Structure formats: structure tokens, C-alpha cells
Amino acid sequence: MGWTDHLHERCMIGGLWVEADGGETIAVNDPSTGEVLGSVPKMGRAETARAIDAAQAAFGEWSAMTAAERCALMLKLHQALMDHQADLGELLCREMGKPLAEARGEIAYGAAFVRWFAEEGRRIYGDAIPSPWRDKRILATQAPVGVVGAITPWNFPNAMIARKLGAALGAGCAMVCKPASATPFSALAVAALVEEAGLPKGVFNVVTGSASAIAAEMCENPKLRKITFTGSTEIGKELASNATRHMKRVSMELGGNAPFIVFDDADLDAAVAGAMASKYRNSGQTCVCANRILVQSGVHDAFAAKLARAAEGLKVGRGYDEGVTQGPLIDAAALEKVEEHVADMLAKGGEIVTGGARVGNQGTFFQPTVVKNATTDMKPFREETFGPLAPLFRFETEEEAVAMANDTPYGLACYFYTRELGRAFRVMERLQFGMVGVNEGIISTEVAPFGGVKDSGMGTEGSKYGLDDYLVRKYALIGGLGF
Ligand code: NAP
């Protein structure tokens, strides 16, 4: 088999491959070349309603199984994902652009959530609460929330779905997923493997097409009980407000503006390695990417030089070409945003240490870039660049660094490097973010809670807490016991 065997051009509803009602399609491009890879149906409300019906029907069967039965099927799905890791990774690389090794790593990362929640699903406990009555008993149990709608972004076309799907299935829920229009094939490939693994038809449905129409149906259809979203803060706020108007549970994994702080006492080589991974992974297109790099004045120049040298070692190109370590940006608008941020910095006194320009005149490639003399009036201080630009801000004191780091409406991930234990705890406790990397630049794992505060959203993915978002609590008072 090869990656093209996993490329499906129809949607999956109730276990069937289907076209849009009107037969319309959306083209999907390879961002490295602009060439069309294929197309997917352009669906809207009617097809989404049918997918919700299919999920509702499957929910009955899936939720009635024992946790052990669900676990066994989910482990088969995990195995299917891993058996096809190489091909699924290449498909993801073709539609999204990230280097092949990163893409294959994403498949394993996504699959790990399926396995984790297969197992966690067996540990959904309730309580027997001491009763205030001699002749009555109180139980508090947990039940699956029901049919879940998932809307996902293009930057992790597999993992952003797998970590929602894993939790939903582990809790006993069924799902309708609307993947990003730029990267729908990875979602459809997962749907095919859900079938192959033998899960009930309709437990995982994928609809592609008009985001606003599909989201409207998800928000208003009473059979759908929860919406989980990963994407921009702007859309997340609108979606959360529409969903809660119809009393839907919501989980929102939104944008970030991660600070990455390097103190004078840091292990500089470790800090450079962490910054490289945090900044340039996925060409800077992750919600947890270092967006503002704050460096204490004592090590500023040395750090800038080392980071620039490391950035120059990256090989920019098509993700599926040998040795490439940085792929293209997702589209022309993303490329223009990076250029706009670089231009804004230069206009306000920024100085290029390395990079700063497009690579070639085909595709959407941008040099790994480091710009120093960054100030708080520059765009990267306020907005996610979502590209390979590392802006270096100089600071003098710990107080100043923490204040700068917290000066953002976002609160997803943050990072800092220090070798002083007291400072490690002080700074960790003062940073107002959902996730903190202390002397670490990559922090995601299925066993730890992933989620943000403030404008970065609400809810948790992964870890033992990740099931909570897919469960509802149920209280039963049991009387008539005859004693
Ligand atoms: P986006 O524009 O918000 O799109 C995300 C998803 O929302 C896509 O499926 C998109 O569909 C859909 N969408 C668009 N308009 C919608 C509407 N009116 N109602 C409902 N859904 C709608 O975000 P993106 O550019 O793809 O992703 C990048 C953002 O995601 C960044 O801000 C990043 O920080 C964030 N992110 C957060 C996390 C996290 O865990 N916190 C993880 C990854 C990414 P179409 O593709 O069809 O437009």
C-alpha cells in the first residue's frame, strides 16, 4: 500500500462513503507546489444533520458496550493507525506540508491518545455518597455526554482529531467531525481505519465543506450535546457563544502567544535546542510555538548568535524531500502574515540576525528567521505570527520578564530556562498560562493535561482529566429499599 490508498474523496456518514447532496466539491492542494491533490465534498446543514442522526444511532450501541469491549476495539484502532503510520504520515505531509518525519511522528502522537483513552475509559468511576436517610442510598455516576461535534484545524490534521476522538470514544460517545478544509484527507483516512478496526458504523462520521453551515447545524441540532473545537480564538469565541445559547457543552482549544524566557543562569545550549523545537517545529505553525523570545541581557548576544546558527542549519523544502526539516507555510495568507510581522519589526527598529525572506518563488516557503531589538509595540508581541520568525526581546530583571510574559490576553503555553531551583518555582507559579515548560521546549504528551486559560480557551485534552469534558454526572437517590 502507499499513501494514495488512504486518500478518500468522499465523506463518511454512518459507515458509508457519500458525496454532497448537490455534488459540489472543494479542491485540496499540496502547499509545497500548489498542485491539486484531490477534492472532498462541499457539505452543509442537511448532510451534517444526517451525520448527527447516524452518530445518535451508533451512540446507543457504543455506549451500551462494556468499557472493556470498547477498549478492545479502540486498541485495534490504535494498532491500525500504527500499522499504517508511514502512509498516513505521507498523506498528512502531502496535504499539510510538514516534514515527513514530523508527519509520521504526529500519527504516533495521535494514536497514543486513542490507546490512552481506551485504557482510561475503563477507569470511569462514580461515588456512593453517605446517605442522610437510613432507608435510602445515593449514587453519583458518570455517563457519556452523547453525540459530540468536533471542528479541527489544519496544523495537526491527525492529532487534533485523534485526541478528541480518543476521549470521546473512551467515554462512550459518538462523533461527527468537521476537519479543516485545507487538510481533510487525514480525517477521512482515520474514518476508514475506524471502519477497518470494527467499531460500530456511525461512531465516527466526517463531514467536509462549509464551516459556517456545518457549525450552525452542530450548534442548533438538539441531538448533538457537545462541541469541541481547536482553532483560532476569534472563531472559537463565536462558536462557543452560539453553542452555549443552545446549552451545548463546549471545549475550546484556541490560539496562544507563548513567551519563551531565557535567564542569565540558563544552560544556553539547552535553551537554544528548546527554542529551535518550540519555534520552528511545523514551520512555526503550532498553537504552543514560542512566539516571543525574551532573553536576559547577560546572555542575549550569545543566545542570538547560537540560535541564528542553529536556524541556519534547517533545510527548507518540500516535506517529502530527503533531509528537509522545515516545510512550507499552509497558504499564501500565512506567508504574507510572516512577511508583515517581519516588516513591522524592521520598520520599528528590529534588526535581522538571520533569514527574513521567502525561499524560492514557488510554494509558500520562508527562511527560518531571527530578528533582535524586538519591542512591545511590534506585532509579534501582540499576535501569533504562526510562522518561522523568532523575535528576540531583551530584558534585565525577573520581574520584568514575568510581567512581559503575562502581558497578553492569551494563556496557552509558556517556557523558561533557568538553573536556579527557587527561580524555577517562583516563575512557574507566576506565569498565567495553562502549560509551562521549565527547561523544556516540547511539552505535549497524551498523559499530561493540555489546555489553556484566558483567551486560549477552556477544557483539557489528554491525561486522566481529558475524559471529564465528555462525561456528565448523574445522581440517583434510591428509595423503596424496604428497611
Ligand atoms: P480557524 O480558522 O479557527 O479554523 C479552525 C476550524 O474552524 C477549521 O475547521 C475551520 O474550517 C473552522 N471554521 C472556520 N470558520 C468557522 C465558523 N464560522 N464556525 C465554525 N468553524 C469554523 O483556525 P486555523 O487557522 O485552522 O488554525 C490555527 C489556529 O488554531 C491558531 O490560532 C492556533 O493557535 C489554534 N490552535 C490551537 C490549538 C490548541 O490546542 N489550543 C491547537 C492547534 C491550533 P475551514 O477550514 O473550512 O475554514
Written as one string, the DSSP assignment of 445-470 is -TTS-B--EETTEE--BSTGGGGGGG
Give pLDDT, residue 443.
Answer: 97
Atom 13 of ligand 1, residue of closest alpha carbon: 211
Residues with Cβ < 8 Å from 296, sequence gap 6 or more?
Answer: 262, 263, 264, 394, 395, 396, 401
Ligand 1 atom with least separation from CA of 452: 41
Task: Note the pLDDT of residue 243.
Answer: 98
Q: Which atom of ligand 1 is nearest to the CA of 214?
A: 20
Q: Which of 155, 176, 408 to mutate to test the pocket of ligand 1 (most atoms within 8 A of CB)?
A: 155
Residue 342 contacts residue 371 (beta carbons within 8 Å): yes
Q: Ligand 1 test: best mutation among 220, 232, 453, most atoms within 8 Å of CB?
A: 232
Which atom of ligand 1 approaches the CA of 256 most closely?
34
* Residues paired with residue 338 on neighbouring β-strands, in sequence order: none
d(CA 91, CA 101): 12
The residue whose CA has the least distance to atom 18 of ligand 1 is 212
pLDDT tens by residue, 348-393: 999 999 999 999 988 899 999 999 999 999 999 999 999 999 999 9
Query: Which atom in ligand 1 lies closest to the alpha carbon of residue 234?
Result: 3
- What does the pLDDT look like over 77-131, one tens digit per residue? 999 999 999 999 999 999 999 999 999 999 999 999 999 999 999 999 999 999 9
Report CA(187)–ligand 1 centroid distance (Å). 15
Per the annotation, the verdict on 219 as an active-site residue is no
What is the number of the ligand 1 atom nearest to the C-alpha of 288?
34
Query: Residue 144: what are its φ and ψ, rounded to 5°?
Result: -65, 145
Whether 287 is a known active-site residue: answer: yes
Q: What is the pLDDT of residues 57-69, one digit of tens each?
A: 999 999 999 999 9
The burial of 386, by beta-carbon neighbours within 10 Å (0-12 exposed, 13-18 middle, 19 or more buried), is given as buried
Cα separation, 407 vs 60, in Å, equals 47
The counts of H helices and E strands in the chain are: 14, 22
Confidence at 214, pLDDT banded by 50, 70, 90: very high
pLDDT tens for residues 248-297? Answer: 999 999 999 999 999 999 999 999 999 999 999 999 999 999 999 999 99
Using CA positions, which residue lies closest to atom 46 of ligand 1?
180
Predicted confidence (pLDDT) per residue in 22-58, tens digit:
999 999 999 999 999 999 999 999 999 999 999 999 9
Question: Burial level of 297, CB count in 10 A (0-12/13-18/19+)?
Answer: exposed
Residues 6+ positions from 399 with CB-CB distance below 8 Å: none
**Angle at Cα 352 formed by Cα 305 and Cα 362, nearest 5°?**
110
What's the CA gap between 167 and 393, in Å, rounded? 39
1 pLDDT band, cuts 50/70/90, is confident
Between the alpha carbon of residue 24 and those of residues 20, 29, 36, the distances in Å are 6, 17, 16
Going by the DSSP 8-state scheme, the letter that residue 247 receives in this structure is T
How high is the pLDDT of residue 332? 96
Distance between CA atoms of residues 393 and 466, nearest Å:
35
Give the active site residue among 93, 287, 289, 414. 287
Residue range 312-345, pLDDT digits in tens: 999 999 999 999 999 999 999 999 999 999 999 9
Could you tell me the distance, in angstroms and rounded to a whole number, from the CA of residue 331 to the centre of ligand 1?
14
Q: How far is the CA of 152 from the centre of ligand 1 (A)?
A: 6
For residues 225-231, average pLDDT: 98
Region of residue 22 (left: phi > 0; alpha: psi -120 to 50; beta: else): alpha
Compute the distance between CA of residue 481 and CA of residue 483 in angstroms, rounded to an integer: 6
Nearest CA to ligand 1 atom 21: 211
Please, which pLDDT band fits residue 396 given cuts at 50, 70 and 90?
Answer: very high
Q: Could you give the 3-state DSSP secondary structure of residue 15? A: coil
DSSP structure string for 311-324: HHT--BS-TTSTT-
**How far does CA 439 lie from the centroid of its chain?**
22
Contact indicator for 148, 467 with CB cutoff of 8 Å:
no
The per-residue pLDDT for 362 is: 86
Q: 398: helix, coil or strand?
A: helix
- Return the C-alpha cell found at 256: 496562544
Question: Residue 483: its pLDDT value, please?
Answer: 84
Q: Whose CA is nearest to atom 23 of ligand 1?
A: 231
CB neighbours of residue 360 within 10 Å: 10
Give the C-alpha separation, 47 to 208, whole Å. Answer: 10
Measure 151 CA to ligand 1 centroid, in angstroms: 8
**Closest ligand 1 atom, residue 233 Cα:** 32
3-state secondary structure 275-305: HHHHHHHHHHCCCCCEEEEEEEHHHHHHHHH
Rounded Cα gap, residues 268 and 296, in angstroms: 11
Calculate how far, in angstroms, residue 233's C-alpha sits from the geometric centre of ligand 1: 8
CB atoms within 10 A of CB 382: 15
Please tell me the distance between residue 479's alpha carbon and the centre of ligand 1 in angstroms. Answer: 49
Ligand 1 centre to CA of 173 (Å) is 23
Q: Which residues line ligand 1 (CB under 6 A)?
A: 151-155, 160, 178, 180-182, 211-212, 215, 230-232, 235, 239, 253-256, 287, 384, 412, 452, 457
Q: What is the pLDDT of residue 361?
A: 85
Region 392-399 average pLDDT:
98
Tell me the pLDDT tens digit for each residue of 140-174: 999 999 999 999 999 999 999 999 999 999 999 99
For the stretch 445-481, pLDDT in tens is 999 999 999 999 999 999 999 999 999 999 999 999 9
Strand partners for 142: 473
- Annotated catalytic residue: which of 253, 384, 446, 461? 253
pLDDT for position 128: 98
pTM for the whole structure:
0.98
Report how far residue 343's alpha carbon sits from residue 337's, in angstroms, rounded to the nearest whole number.
10
Residues 286, 291, 294, CA angle at the centre, nearest 5°? 145
